Amino acid sequence: KQEVTQIPAALSVPEGENLVLNCSFTDSAIYNLQWFRQDPGKGLTSLLLIQSSQREQTSGRLNASLDKSSGRSTLYIAASQPGDSATYLCAARQGGSEKLVFGKGTKLTVNP
């Protein structure tokens, strides 16, 4: 059974700092891994999707990496801004399935 863990559960940083969010998964047989942003009381905004054959994906100040063999993914946020404050979720899609298994998320606060 796939389990997805995100560390830390919460993170507070000053504006402008670069930061890394971590995601680990127990079953490496995944199709892809996806990072989402969730604002309080809101739905999910997809940030980056990394296919199992890829090592990383970039979008603006965001860079996500994937290491299937070690069961890890990281989300790197450069030059953080207060508007980046949100909960970041990672989700692994199981091979042979459409099921997404989510972590509990990392709540990020960027202080002005």
Query: In this structure, what DSSP letter does residue 60 have?
Result: T
The string of DSSP letters for 19-42 reads EEEEEEES---EEEEEEEEE-TT-
Kindly tell me which residue out of 2, 4, 33, 57 binds other proteins, with binding defined by CB under 8 A: 4
Binding to other proteins by CB under 8 A, coded x per residue (else -) over 42-61, reads xxxxx--x-xx---------
Q: Compute the distance between CA of residue 18 and CA of residue 77 in angstroms, rounded to an integer.
A: 6
Binding to other proteins by CB under 8 A, coded x per residue (else -) over 58-97, reads -------------------------------x-x-x-x--
Binding to other proteins by CB under 8 A, coded x per residue (else -) over 18-37, reads -------------xx-x-x-
- Does position 103 interact with other proteins (CB under 8 A)? The reply is yes
Block residue for tokens 């042979």: 96
Token pair in block for residue 82: 């207060």
